[in-house]
Structure 1
Amino acid sequence: MASIVARKIKGRVYYSKVESYRENGKVKQRILEYYGRLDPRKNPEACPIVKKNIDGTCSFGDIALLYRAADEINLFEVIDTYVPKRQGLPLSLEFFLTSAHKLLDDKPSSANLSPWVEDTHLPSLLGFDTKRITENTQQYLMNKIYDEERNIDHLYRISIDLYKTLRSCLAKRTTPTSTI
């Protein structure tokens, strides 16, 4: 059976709809709806206050900054000119994700890349499926980068250095006590 209960806390009255039940012979109450300071018996417009649930979160700022920096230095275009096209996720995007994962994750590994990418905003922004990122595609990416005729393995080292420099510069501007 449910009833409206008024509880006085620090001189203020709060209303809630409670249900009484017994547990091991003792009477207990379970709050069904919480109305706050509005009395639902006197005010027909009183609505219960509902907790808002968060379905999920995503990492935005750090990965967005790196994506913008990679776009500004034309990293995607440079890689696409050297590495041949294939079906599926573009190799330039996968290269960027691998580099960003190495920089931003505490424990980067190829097994953690796909779950890490799911926690960022990039899949919804760029419209790709994170299930396409597997260990086989990562091995293919590294083989293509290191085994190409023009030998563009220097791109990987250059991009990591550029990201570290950019990240440390921006961190010094925003937080003076940053330890990057």
Structure 2
Amino acid sequence: MVFVKKNFRRGHCYYTIVEGYRDGGKVKHRTLLYLGRLETLDDEKRRRIEAIIRKVPEEKLPEIKTCMEELDIPLIRDQGDVEILYRIAGKLELRGIINGHVVKTSGVDVGSQMVVLAINQCLDALALDNVDLWYHHTILEEQLGIPFYKLNVENLCKAMDYIYEPIMDGKGRMIDVKDNAQPIQQSIVEKLKGLYDIK
């Protein structure tokens, strides 16, 4: 089943066309088309889109875009706020500074990935697995020339590994923070509150 899904982030509504499917007995969702922020998507238009999409087989997904054009619903790209932050990053030479401290010989440079993540965190603060779609629907893809599929969650995590120092245990072995994370005890939280006078 294919439907239009609304996601609210920082006061903005983002639309995606999603397909529901079963995997191992569990219901999961797969994003077929990211619509972005649509200013005039009322209930009637949403129902018409859903009706059209139900009839389109998965191999004909490009037809979904044609259907959107026929309904006269524009795909809105984030431009102004992204452009300003990208220019600030350029003035600060963030890409060059980061790349100057990283030894990487192939793939997307770490500086570009960190600039994309910084701009995303300023504007929408999406999880890493959603950054590629967000990036695809901004002007950054045109400016950086990096295809959106290269900014997947695996590449972004690897890029962050380049800029963080590894954490070593007493025997010189690297600690995997995810596997060794411990919940914070309430007594520690209370001590920190008292130390920094936090109410």
| Length-normalised TM-score, structure 1 | 0.49
Structure number, greater radius of gyration: 1
